Amino acid sequence: MHTFREHRWQSFLQNYENRARLLISCPDKPGIVASVTSFLYEQGANIVESSQYSTDPEGGTFFLRIEFDCPNITLRKQEIESAFQPIAESFHMDWRLRLHNDVKRIAIFVSKAEHCLLELLWQWQAGELIADIALVISNHEHLRNTVESIGIPYFHIPVTKETKAEAEQKQIELLKKYEVDTIVLARYMQILSPAFVAEFPGRIINIHHSFLPAFVGARPYERAYERGVKLIGATSHYVTDDLDEGPIIEQDVARVDHRHHPDDLKRMGRIIEKTVLARALKWHLEDRVIIHGNKTIVFY
């Protein structure tokens, strides 16, 4: 499995060595697409994918994601960014240019539940999740062997009410040491402090069931069963200071009925959770998500 992943990794780097992504958000007005595409043409680029959206053609916000191939983009990135700056300023753009091969380094936070972690590890080993999993951090020891057996560092940092600040400081030090870009909370059953969240704005992805706000707290599946819910689901979102209220990236549901007992709901919920989290992370890694206020624009 490890050999296959390494082969896929090398193939990816070779196949996309000249590809980049340009993400833009700005006030909507005529001429944005024409100016951007003309600029890319002048740089010798060939557009291979383009998606756009406007909240309102008159006075709204315009969003654009373009993937393109351009010879020697790795060496020319800074040059192209400097040349694009006047266009960006003329349209008041918030923008970024990312190389396709600039693979993000991620950290996975996990507690005892293993389903989301295992899904991410499986997709990573299969070459479906293009990322560098730098480390796994947990407040329990339960999953150490699973993680270390495939060569990923595992750090056990216990968290209690009294030691929370100290534990988070250790976590932050590790994340900086390993140069982590993105943090994935794969059923990590701890609430992150505002100070921790502020260190990684727009770079922490969480997953939880979609019963909120109806069934807050413990035993949500049991209470949902008692209420006779007909839909269960999962939500993946960016973490903000407002608990479980950050910009949503992806959601999914499954229909249930009176024949499904709490254990059935939990089993189905686990399947939805791991699938939704993997999709959300994949889109984030591919720069398909633009945060706009407390919502997201996702170019699938």
Q: Please tell me the predicted confidence (pLDDT) of residue 9.
A: 65
pLDDT per residue of the chain (300 residues) written in tens, 0 to 9: 344 456 566 777 778 899 999 999 999 999 999 999 999 999 999 999 999 999 998 889 999 999 999 999 999 999 999 999 999 999 999 999 999 999 999 999 999 999 999 999 999 998 899 999 999 999 999 999 999 999 999 999 999 999 999 999 999 999 999 999 999 999 999 999 999 999 999 999 999 998 766 787 788 889 889 999 999 999 999 999 988 889 999 999 999 999 999 999 999 999 999 999 999 999 999 999 999 999 999 999
Cβ-Cβ contacts under 8 Å for 50 (sequence gap 6 or more): 37, 64, 65, 66, 67
Catalytic residues: 244
pTM above 0.85, yes or no: yes
